[in-house]
Chain A
């Protein structure tokens, strides 16, 4: 394809090229909204049908880790936006610095997610043959306070009284939890790959006030992934905290 510098032959100006690229990215994001939308839809219907089990499942999640991750992700959106700004005003070093900061924060998010998933493995909350919502209270570890476990056991017994199929329905919650956060994490991993590509470009000084389309476009994607989490956090972690 004919190309002059960063300008491809079928565009007249870099600005026109950037607008087209941004439009294309937005159209892709529309498909992503509907992609995640289907999962949110499934979640809503099942949460409505099995609210007791979904409350029990939700309350096993760690608000501190989830909240911390929300802060980390919003911070990474800020650094991403700052990377775009740095490119627009021609501060080439800052482009690299902010992109690296974004990647680092994204990695922290995924690291925390690993810790959270590991806890669910340990507590037998992975949907499947060994799934057991009572496992944690029946097998407390040294780190679990006896009082907390007693409270949790009572809550679970009340929940079982309301919904005898609690174990099956809680699995539904965790299937959606792992499906939705897993898909979100997959998007983060793709984003991390794109950031590495951008960082390499920024080291070569590729992004300037005239040409910063890739930073802008990856930024759109990164912010979208942030938005998905903005909805996932309250819906998965916070639905049944008021008692």
Chain B
């Protein structure tokens, strides 16, 4: 951690980006992109989540072992999703 202090300016910038993302996701939901509606919604949500993790949760300024833990959460989640869906979609 080595006490990196994130400035309020960055916090406000991230906040505004998250607001813009929320607006964008609501707008996109009312457009017809066919099967891509859900993809777009999840992409925007993941982008917002990444901003929160990197800046609000200070992951960007955290030691590498914290990065490892964060990546492992995505990794285990991916295993659960991939294996379960590979079952359900091939029945």
- Write the residues of chain A forming the contact surface with B, with a CB cutoff of 8 angstroms: 15, 18-19, 22-23, 26-27, 29-30, 33-34, 37-38, 41, 44-45, 48, 63, 67, 70-71, 74-75, 77-78, 80-82, 85, 88-89, 209, 216, 219-220, 223-224, 226-227, 230-231, 233-235, 238-239, 241-243
Contact = CB atoms under 8 A, between A and B. Distances in A.
Contacts, number: 128
Most buried by B among A23, A220, A234: A234
Closest 9 CB pairs of A and B: A238-B29, A30-B73, A234-B41, A242-B32, A33-B73, A78-B15, A26-B69, A241-B29, A227-B49
A63 B55 CA distance: 28
Contacts of A230: 45, 48-49, 52
Nearest to A37: B77
B81 A23 contact: no
Contacts of B6: 81, 85
Nearest to B74: A33
Interface of B: 1-3, 5-8, 11-12, 14-15, 18-19, 22, 25-26, 29-33, 37-38, 41-42, 44-45, 48-49, 52-53, 55-58, 62-63, 65-66, 69-70, 72-74, 76-77, 80-81, 84-85, 88
A80 B56 CA distance: 9
Contacts of A238: 25-26, 29, 41
A38 B80 CA distance: 8
B15 A74 contact: yes
A33 B70 CA distance: 10
Interface of A is mostly: helix
A29 B53 CA distance: 11
A37 to B, nearest CB: 5
A243 B52 CA distance: 32
Nearest to A48: B88
11 contacts: A15-B2, A19-B63, A38-B80, A63-B26, A78-B14, A226-B52, A230-B49, A230-B52, A233-B45, A234-B44, A242-B30
A233 to B, nearest CB: 8
Nearest to B12: A78
Given A82-B8, A230-B49, A234-B29, 11 more contacts: A23-B65, A30-B73, A33-B73, A33-B74, A71-B22, A227-B49, A230-B48, A234-B42, A239-B37, A239-B38, A239-B41
